[in-house]
Amino acid sequence: MTIVRNKDLTAWNTFGLKVSCACFVEYGSVAELEELWKRNRDGLGLPETGGAGDGTAFPSPILHIGRGSNLLFTKDFPGTVFHSDIKFIEAGGESCGITAGETAGDRRTDVEVGAGVLWDDFCRWSAEQGLWGPENLSGIPGETGAAAVQNIGAYGVEAKDFIRMVKCFDYITGKVVAFRPSECRYGYRESMFKTSAKGRYVVTSVCFSLSSGPNPKLEYGNVRAAVDKALEDTGKSLTPALVRDVILSVRNSKLPDPAVIGSAGSFFKNPVVPRSDYERVASIARIGHSDDCQVPHFDTGSGFIKIPAAWLIEQCGLKGYRDGNAAVYERQPLVIVNLTGEASPEEILAVEKKVSDSVYSKFGIRLQPEVEHI
């Protein structure tokens, strides 16, 4: 367990904002988390073991973070930041609570992954094992626990598609509980961990059901064409490792590497709107362009249409828009970046407001942030 007071969080948010927290606690096991919980409940405060732990109270509030890849710290955090360093990848069904009968014959392998494992380390491991599931989600920053909270998604796949079980520590009862995906109320970048049960559960590990039989998902955008080209160029066969390599190169051509330019990936969600709103957007687009101007869209099938926020932002002329040290990323306008590495939270917020207000005034659609504001 590590405890540090007045911790600089620059390396703990992928925007690279220079913010700090009053106290930072990293635990390496469920038992350590349980101990912290008991001490907090009993008013004993931080343990006097190592680091700056001195038995005084946990500064509140408490915030659990992964790698801070989907967070915007709007100011210094006055409380205690908790981080899980629970790291293991374990193949085999038993720990996921699965009986042999459920898995027999369907060529599936169940894998349990600690919440603190970097998501892309899990993706690489799966590809190396020849297991299908997370390959389309390769290269997404952040950790496995946060991936299950956020239901991360890319290239036609969401984490919920192959999550089997989410194991959590319950902050109310102090017990470990496990949820099936149907209980997690997953939606587009949504789960109960972000909404109805926010703050109650801490994910400690996630069980995934991976496929050892071929199960490629290539229907999104140009993924199939890129995979076909890679098969032809390399002479290799279709494996999760090959799909992973293709996805990584597609991502790298569009999205900033947070190690080089600070960002939190997509800043906004793609709006899902009633058909009448979509038709209004289409008619506004026709006025600005030609009669056959096509609005890219995806019909969700329930009367609602998903419109790419990147397209709406681009139509407002904001691709590459810069204000001080913050900017709209020139290759993917859904991403707000800390362009110089020196951006303040206020500068990121000013670009968010500019984008949000511009899209609203042109199209009447209020974009919702995907990034969590702290």
Q: Which residues bind ligand EPU (CB under 6 A)?
A: 154-155, 220-221, 254-255, 265-266, 269-270, 296, 308, 310-311, 314, 332-334, 370
H-state helical runs in 179-289? 223-234, 240-254, 275-288
HSE-CB for 24 with a 13 A CA cutoff: 19
185 assigned to active site: no
- Smaller CB separation from ligand EPU, 30 or 157: 157
- Smaller CB separation from ligand EPU, 44 or 248: 248
Q: Which two tokens stand for residue 223?
A: 């993924």
State the catalytic residue, choosing from 67, 164, 189, 244. Answer: 189
**How many angstroms separate the CA atoms of 311 and 321, rounded?**
14
Amino acid identity of residue 139, one-letter, is G
- Smaller CB separation from ligand EPU, 102 or 330: 330
266 assigned to active site: yes
DSSP 134: S
Q: Are 143 and 67 in contact (CB under 8 A)?
A: yes
249 assigned to active site: no
Q: Which residues of 70-107 are buried (b: 16+ CB within 10 A; e: fewer)?
A: bbbbeeebeebbbbbbbbebebebebbebeeeebeeee
- Smaller CB separation from ligand EPU, 202 or 247: 247
Which residue of this chain has its Cβ atom nearest to ligand EPU in the complex? 265
Give the nearest distance from C-beta 242 to ligand EPU in angstroms: 18
Q: Say if strands 272-274 and 304-306 run parallel, antiparallel, or are unpaired.
A: antiparallel
Neighbours of 57 (CB within 10 A): 13
Give the nearest distance from C-beta 54 to ligand EPU in angstroms: 39
Give the nearest distance from C-beta 35 to ligand EPU in angstroms: 34
Query: Which residues are CB-contacts of 254 (< 8 A; sequence separation ≥ 6)?
Result: 331, 332
**How many angstroms separate the CA atoms of 140 and 156, rounded?**
14
State the catalytic residue, choosing from 135, 143, 158, 370. Answer: 370
- Smaller CB separation from ligand EPU, 79 or 308: 308
State the catalytic residue, choosing from 126, 209, 263, 266. Answer: 266
Q: Which residues are catalytic?
A: 189, 266, 370
